[in-house]
Chains A and B, each alone.
Chain A
Amino acid sequence: MGSYYDDSQSGPFAGGEASSGRMPGRQPAGSFMGRQTSSFAEFLASYSPGLLPGRPFGAPVGPGAGPAGDGSALRDLPHATTIVAATCHQGVVLAGDRRATAGSMIAKRDVVKVFRSDEFSAISYAGTGSAGIEFIRLFQVELEHYEKMEGRPLSLEGKANRLAWMIRGNLAAAMQGFIVVPLFVGYDEDTDEGRIFSYDVLGGPYEEQRFHSIGSGSVFARGALKKLYVNDMPVRDTVLACVQALYDAADDDSATGGPDLTRRIFPVIATVTADGFRQLPDSESEEYAQQVVQERLTSPDGPAAPLHMSS
């Protein structure tokens, strides 16, 4: 499997001393000069593969290197849970709950799983917490690195494809249970609309229409969004629909956290529009969460869809 863990590959992107296609004349060793690729992850694989996510420092990842015992150590790692995304009028909304679980325990109440990946995109993840954090850090650097090297940002499809390639690179770790599945959203400047890309452990991307959800509570969140989603909604309504969906996920899935009014912990919500990435400040996400919670006091199952029997 060709992946960025595979340091042995040859070719123009291998990055090794022998094949890096240096400029004429000698250049200092270890000077990063004469590089032929604008990918940070590819460079990292040749420079210091131990820095790649999910890979023990200096130790190879391969079959038989799995966690010892019955895998309980793995189960006890914090896992991030539910993420929802929905497109809106000229943009897209991404929201995540705040819970991380380790087995049946709540590992963290205030974990953040929604991140800015660059000016016009956002990324979130479900799966192993530590691997996910490293993975997202690498992806953020990857996008910015390309933009600086080339003097222009990657296209939205380019970013989505790049992410797929990086997930594939994580396959060996995923096979041991360190699974990270991202959900990627962005504003497409060419078509003036928000777009959603989902992935599996082998990569992707799968472009999703209208809305999508990942993680343990995704089944419930997606069901809720299906009933609440309206095409081309304004941003505010879409955010509200996402918060409702997260509430429904928390209602039925033990690993998803609802709005925590006592500790004032609310979902992390980000919007990506023509104005760029924006993460809602706590005060604003609190408003949405408070409204949802207040409504649920009178109708605990949330808004009901009106039904009309066609006669």
Chain B
Amino acid sequence: MPFGYVSPAQAMRDKAEYARQGIARGRSCVTLQYEGGILLMAPNPSTALHKISEIYDRIAFAAVGRYPEYENLRKAGITYADITGYQFDRHDVTARSLANYYAQNLGTIFTENLKPFEVEIVVAEVGEQPDGDQIYRISFDGSVTDEPGYVAFGGQADQVSAVLKERYSPGMSLTAAFGAALAALSASGNGERVEIKASQLEAAILDRTRDHRAFRRILAARLEGLIRDSSPDSKTDQDTTAETPPSDGDGPAQPV
């Protein structure tokens, strides 16, 4: 610091403010449980620069914020997971240890670097049974929260989370979960809905029933199908569990 004295408390506040502002500029991302696993979804017009990725057999990663920073964290997480699995056994790689690993590193970066990372990340692990599912959210300063069921993070996390809270119910189908996530992501501040097209959406699942590698991206035709099937012409989550038949040829019904 060239001029004057800045108290540690003030420095930390400034850093946190800086990171928060950076994150708030971006869109949100959601992660939620459904009966067959965990769904991760984020608005993302790019098909090459991912926000959602596979880390290990049953562990996925989702991030918002500055791309080079979370990409760096993603690769570091893969390395951490692969080295742990190679040294011990594949079963010994857990979301909990990975979340701790991220927390430690983000915490160190936050306190030691002049510029903190402007990222928020989620580490999700699908268990053998739904109660074995784990979702952890790690903030720019390294604080970790365990988020049972669902989590929304990033830019408009509060609004997105509010919709998600309304729509989420334990043990919902993939279509219903997809509908809830889509509704949450398309909620904007003034109560209007922003329609999100398939080309602007990145979605992936951790499929409980898959052997070996549970992570699967939802692409092209399946993505379109899920958007169509989960189109929001119902208001309660009970209704969304029943699949709405697509009106033939005219595409999804418009929300009222």
Which A residues form the contact surface with B (CB < 8 A)?
23, 25-28, 31-35, 40, 43-44, 47-48, 51, 137-138, 141, 144-145, 148-149, 151
CA–CA, A47 and B54, complex, Å: 23
* Given A33-B75, A33-B105: 4 more A-B contacts, CB < 8 Å: A28-B104, A28-B109, A40-B82, A44-B83
B114 within 8 Å of A by Cβ? yes
In the complex, the answer to whether B82 meets A145 with C-beta atoms within 8 Å is: yes
Known pairs A138-B86, A141-B85; A35 contacts B112 (CB<8 A): no
Contact of B53 among A44, A47, A51, A148 (CB under 8 A): A148
Chain B nearest CB from A219 CB (Å) reads: 35
* A residues less than 8 Å from B112 (CB atoms): 26, 28
Residues of chain B in range 51-97 having any CB-CB distance to chain A below 8 Å: 53-55, 68, 72-73, 75-76, 78-80, 82-83, 85-87
In the A-B complex, the 3 residue pairs with the closest CB atoms: A32-B79, A28-B108, A32-B76
Contacts of A141 in B (CB 8 A): 82, 85-86
**Given contact pairs A28-B108, A28-B109, A33-B105, A149 touches B72 in the complex (Cβ within 8 A):** no
Is A148's CB under 8 angstroms from B83's CB? no
For the complex formed, measure the closest distance between the CB of B241 and the CB atoms of chain A, giving whole angstroms: 32
Residue B216 CB within 8 A of the other chain: no
Expressed in whole angstroms, the minimum distance between the Cβ of B101 and any Cβ of chain A is 8
CA distance A278 to B78 in the complex (A): 26
Name B's interface SS: helix
| Pairwise interchain contact A43-B79, C-beta atoms closer than 8 A | yes
Residues of A within 8 A of B53 (CB): 148, 151
Q: Which residue of B lies closest to A142 (CB)?
A: B82
A148, chain B: closest CB distance, angstroms: 5
Instruction: Give the A-binding residues of B (Cβ under 8 A).
Output: 48, 50, 53-55, 68, 72-73, 75-76, 78-80, 82-83, 85-87, 104-105, 108-109, 112-115, 213
The 8 Å CB contact of A23, one of B72, B78, B83, B114, is B72
Selected contact of A35 from candidates B50, B79, B87, B113, CB within 8 Å: B79
A23, B70: Cα distance in complex, Å? 12
Inter-chain contact B108/A144, CB cutoff 8 Å: no
Contact of A25 among B76, B79, B82, B113 (CB under 8 A): B113
The residues of B that contact A31 with a CB separation of less than 8 Å are: 76, 105, 108
The listed residue (A33, A144, A145) touching B76 by CB distance below 8 A is A33
Least CB distance from B161 to A in Å reads 29
Q: Is the CB of B85 within 8 A of A28?
A: no
In the complex the two chains form, is A32's CB within 8 Å of B80's CB? yes
Docked CA distance A51–B78 (Å): 18
Task: Give the docked Cα–Cα distance between A27 and B68 (Å).
Answer: 14
With the chains together, A145 CA to B56 CA distance in Å?
Answer: 9
In the bound assembly, the distance between CA atoms of A145 and B54 in angstroms comes to 10
Assuming the A-B contacts A43-B79, A149-B78, A151-B50, are A26 and B55 also in contact, with contact meaning beta carbons closer than 8 angstroms in the complex? Answer: no
Which residue among B48, B78, B109 has the maximum number of chain A CB atoms within 10 Å of its CB? B78
CB-CB < 8 A to A34: which residues of B? Answer: 72
For B54, what are the chain A residues with a Cβ–Cβ distance below 8 Å? 148
A48–B80 Cα distance when bound, in Å, is: 13
Q: Quick one: which of A25, A33, A40, A43 contacts B115, CB cutoff 8 A?
A: A25
**CB pair B86 A144 closer than 8 Å:** no
Contact B114 A25 (CB under 8 A): yes
- On whether the beta carbons of A47 and B86 are closer than 8 Å, the reply is no
What residues of A have a CB within 8 angstroms of the CB of B82 in the complex? 40, 141, 144-145, 148
> How many Å lie between the Cα of A149 and that of B55 in the bound state?
9
Interface pair B68/A23, CB less than 8 Å apart? yes
| Shortest distance from the beta carbon of A165 to any chain B beta carbon, whole Å | 18
